Structure 1
Amino acid sequence: MESETNGNLTSQLHLNNSTNANDRVDSYGFEKPEGYESYEEMMAQYVAVLTRRSAKWSKLLQGKVNVEKTLKVKRYVRKGVPKEHRAQIWMAASGAQEHLEKNPGYYHSLLGTEQQHDAKLEETVRIDMHRTFPDNVQFRNSSEPCLQKALYNVLLAYGHHNQVVGYCQGMNFIAGYLIIITKDEEKSFWLMDALLGRILPDYYNPAMLGLKMDQEVLGELVRVKSPAVWQAMVQHNVMWTLVVSRWFICLYIDVLPVETVLRIWDCLFYEGSKILFRVALTLIRHHQAEILQARSMVELCERFKLITQGAFTYDCHTFMKEVLLSLLPHIDRKSSFLFFLTLTGILLSLLPDIDRKSSGNQEVSPWQPSLSCGRRAESVLWRRRPDSTPDHSSTTNNLPKAIALRMFQVIFICPHAKQIIRSHNPWRNV
């Protein structure tokens, strides 16, 4: 497959007239779901919200390329970035724009000539081309142009850029979404670099340590916030990886509706990975009654598939409001305070080792965990005896330190905000 080095796909991403005539296809090229009449009804109401948000965003940006991170911008992001501003906000918030400007021509140099490409990488990427979004008309061979070529280029370039990760399943869906939104190969590449390299480190490397750790963390958060569901998981001997691994590795693509996924990604690029946990917790808590009706492992896994469907997730604006209100203060104040103290103690116990491993003699602030902190967390988590089994009756004090540290980061550490636990409306400020 020939590499296409023209980064700008603006002229390539418009659906042709026959596609536009198909009322079963949305504005992103995806076939509308079953019962699309109710979907259209919801979208008609959402258009009014988008119109209001678009006017406010245009007034805020006023033609600026970069956006300073403030509480006001954060509030705007949480209420949704309009389609026309989404690529710009994602690029600015994630640092991808800065990397693109500092490395002009780098993306095209990675594509180079076909003789320079890794044959194994090419073959691995090519295999997944036809599996990527078969329900999207823009990725079909019959489409003119077909976005598979742009997708191939972005994945190939990233594989050469990050040879430790190379390519693994799930990355094709992420790159596909980025191409649809940015309409630009080079921007999609740098957004992938931000996601996989900085926002979600170690999610997509061969060992997938970051992914495995975050699934464990979600389990512990469920134990705190929805103990009945956690108990059901233990009772039926269901591992969290069975029910949520696809949520995390695909970043909710093909799990939740397109508009809802994009709203989640708005927060993901601006605030980081904690939004993935909040979405998962919201789904679980909202559908707790249905989950608890399961009477076997198979039935429990099936319940987790069903909770991602229905009107609750289609109404992305209401859904995201619920997600951003599902915070730790819903636990009683005493439990929240004790939990905070426990995690603080665990974090402080890690500091001496973190300081020794940090580069040079610079101190590592407990409020800004460094890369060495993450590596330390991994080594603690995965240095278990092979025959060891988790003690589900243990308290937070007995958690692997890495999981507790990650929980601390997810719940309490919020860059660009002065306060984490607030007594007033968290939808506005947290």
Structure 2
Amino acid sequence: MSTKAAETDAWGFPQGAWHATQPAARFQQTTEEKDADRDLKWARMLHPTKGFSGVPTAVLKRRWRKGVPRGWRRAAWPELMDHGPAEFKTAAGLRQITYQSLVNSPPSSYDEVIEKDVVRTFPRHARFATAVADGGRSAGGDDEAAAISSLRRILRAYAALDKECGYCQGMNYVAGLLLLACDSASRSPNDPSASSDAADDEERCFWLLVATARGPRTRLRDLYLPSMVGCRRALYAYEAFLRKLRPKLAAHLERENVQPAMYATHWFVTVFAAQFPAPFAARAWDRFLAEGWKPVYQIGVALLAARERELLALDFEGLMGALRRLPETVDVERTLGLALRLRLKTSDVRDVEKRFGDDVKPQDL
């Protein structure tokens, strides 16, 4: 193993970057071990042209909930979606639009904030770390990190494609996570799909972002519309499910005037991609792409439920401190396991989101 490889984890972050707690370090190690064991199972399930055709739904569901191996996410994530990139492009009439034409679009009003946000995205990752000039922009030039250049092009292209939505802070972390997942260098040796280069990975990431943003199950773009209706809906639903699933904890937070918007907004705006360990975020996305928003709410509640006894003993200041530290102190395995055990139906999510729609005023949209 090279010295550089030994200094980074499977995601390319410095060893220990996410390991603020022993449970997080243990999760990282066991995840890599399990990925090796599961790799051949996914090779047998995922056909390069037929996808998961013929795989019993119960088997597939059990395996994505255990976690898609790191080397298979590039191939598996589009196939797990109800409308993957290829199907979405056809359904949305985007077959005639090329990624390169969007990249070459004229400058827009979003360019300045995109420039500032790309250098804030995963700065500890070697592929994203880059020199920063005055004004918080990338210094550019030959030394600019490759992923920064790709991320800039992806975000500018999305803003050009979806003019109503444009660009909103938080999209950079989502696109950054997708870039890491789409990296062909991390592809499983058992993946028979054609080899590709960084340009292909970049375009694959872009269309996966588009499909996730506009797909009916994931509806990610709702988070970034000027009204932020998706974020408000997510916080509304999360609070409802916290009351339903952990009523004592929800009541304590309400007594201390701790509202979900104070600590959970970034969870939902990035679907855990921004501040949480990359392996944790990827596991959340395994379920998000396959199941929609139900697992996002389950994981959100589980993050607090896993620390319920501690949180119940804290006042406002203590609660805010503990909640701010959650991403770096999360017990990943325990939290994800608890999320699966929380009893929540897809119909529950539909009912609560409908109630939000009934309550929101047209002028607020």
TM-score range, shorter chain: 0.7 to 0.9
Deviations 1:118-142 (A, max 9, x none): 3312222112121111111111226
TM-aligned CA distance change 1:311 to 1:220, over 3 Å:
closer
Residue 46 of structure 2: aligned partner: 61
TM-aligned CA distance change 1:48 to 1:19, over 3 Å:
closer
Residue 128 of structure 1: aligned partner: 117
Residue 103 of structure 1: aligned partner: 95
- The 5 A counterparts of 1:188-267 are 188-198=205-215, 199-200=218-219, 201-267=221-287
Provide the rounded CA distance (Å) in 1 between the counterparts of 2:112 and 2:250. 41
**Residue among 72, 78, 87 paired with 1:91:** 78
After the TM superposition, which of the residue ranges 141-150 and 158-167 deviates more from structure 2?
141-150
Would you say how many aligned residue pairs link Structure 1 and Structure 2? 323
**Residue among 324, 327, 330 paired with 1:305:** 324
**Residue among 42, 49, 74 paired with 2:61:** 74
* Cα drift, residue 215 of structure 1: 0.5
Residue 187 of structure 1: aligned partner: 204
* Cα drift, residue 293 of structure 1: 1.2
* Cα drift, residue 86 of structure 1: 0.7
- The 5 A counterparts of 1:104-119 are 106-112=98-104, 116-119=105-108
Deviations 1:337-373 (A, max 9, x none): xxx8xx79x96xxxxxxxxxxxxxxxxxxxxxxxxx9
Seq. identity, %: 24
* Cα drift, residue 306 of structure 1: 3.1
Query: Which amino acid counterpart does residue 12 of structure 2 have in structure 1?
Result: G
- The 5 A counterparts of 1:163-174 are 163-174=163-174
* Cα drift, residue 62 of structure 1: 4.5
TM-score of the two chains, using structure 1 as the length reference? 0.68
* Cα drift, residue 37 of structure 1: 9.6
Provide the rounded CA distance (Å) in 2 between the counterparts of 1:162 and 1:35. 37
Provide the rounded CA distance (Å) in 2 between the counterparts of 1:167 and 1:237. 32
Checking the alignment, whether the CA contact within 8 Å between 2:151 and 2:172 is kept in structure 1 is yes
* Cα drift, residue 82 of structure 1: 1.3
Checking the alignment, whether the CA contact within 8 Å between 1:243 and 1:304 is kept in structure 2 is yes
Q: Structure 2: which 5+ runs fail to align?
A: 132-142, 184-200
Query: Which amino acid counterpart does residue 177 of structure 1 have in structure 2?
Result: L
TM-aligned CA distance change 1:225 to 1:77, over 3 Å:
same
* Cα drift, residue 165 of structure 1: 0.9
Deviations 1:44-89 (A, max 9, x none): 4333321221121112225445224722211111111112211111
Checking the alignment, whether the CA contact within 8 Å between 1:158 and 1:193 is kept in structure 2 is yes
Checking the alignment, whether the CA contact within 8 Å between 2:276 and 2:328 is kept in structure 1 is yes
TM-aligned CA distance change 1:61 to 1:175, over 3 Å:
same
* Cα drift, residue 278 of structure 1: 0.6
TM-aligned CA distance change 1:62 to 1:250, over 3 Å:
closer
Provide the rounded CA distance (Å) in 1 between the counterparts of 2:130 and 2:3. 15
Residue 136 of structure 2: aligned partner: none
TM-aligned CA distance change 1:181 to 1:379, over 3 Å:
closer
TM-score of the two chains, using structure 2 as the length reference? 0.79
SS in 2 for 1:139: coil
Deviations 1:93-137 (A, max 9, x none): 22123235772662122123xxx4233122221121211111111
Residue 382 of structure 1: aligned partner: 360
Q: Kindly report the root-mean-square deviation, in angstroms, between the aligned alpha carbons of the 2 structures.
A: 3.1
Provide the rounded CA distance (Å) in 2 between the counterparts of 1:100 and 1:82. 27
Checking the alignment, whether the CA contact within 8 Å between 1:182 and 1:188 is kept in structure 2 is yes
Pair member with larger Rg: 1
After the TM superposition, which of the residue ranges 153-162 and 39-48 deviates more from structure 2?
39-48
Provide the rounded CA distance (Å) in 2 between the counterparts of 1:65 and 1:109. 29
TM-aligned CA distance change 1:307 to 1:111, over 3 Å:
closer
Checking the alignment, whether the CA contact within 8 Å between 1:232 and 1:292 is kept in structure 2 is yes
Is 1:268 the counterpart of 2:253 in the alignment? Answer: no
* Cα drift, residue 182 of structure 1: 0.6
Deviations 1:291-343 (A, max 9, x none): 111122x3222222234443622x4xx543322112149xxxxxxxxxx8xx7
* Cα drift, residue 145 of structure 1: 4.9
* Cα drift, residue 265 of structure 1: 0.5
Residue 418 of structure 1: aligned partner: none
Is 1:48 the counterpart of 2:48 in the alignment? Answer: no
Deviations 1:255-285 (A, max 9, x none): 3211111111111111111111010111111
**Residue among 325, 332, 336 paired with 1:320:** 336
SS in 1 for 2:331: helix
Residue 7 of structure 1: aligned partner: none
Deviations 1:396-429 (A, max 9, x none): xxxxxxxxxxxxxxxxxxxxxxxxxxxxxxxxxx
* Cα drift, residue 192 of structure 1: 1.0
Checking the alignment, whether the CA contact within 8 Å between 1:53 and 1:80 is kept in structure 2 is no
Provide the rounded CA distance (Å) in 2 between the counterparts of 1:131 and 1:205. 22
Residue 9 of structure 2: aligned partner: 26
Checking the alignment, whether the CA contact within 8 Å between 1:100 and 1:187 is kept in structure 2 is no
Provide the rounded CA distance (Å) in 1 between the counterparts of 2:123 and 2:267. 19
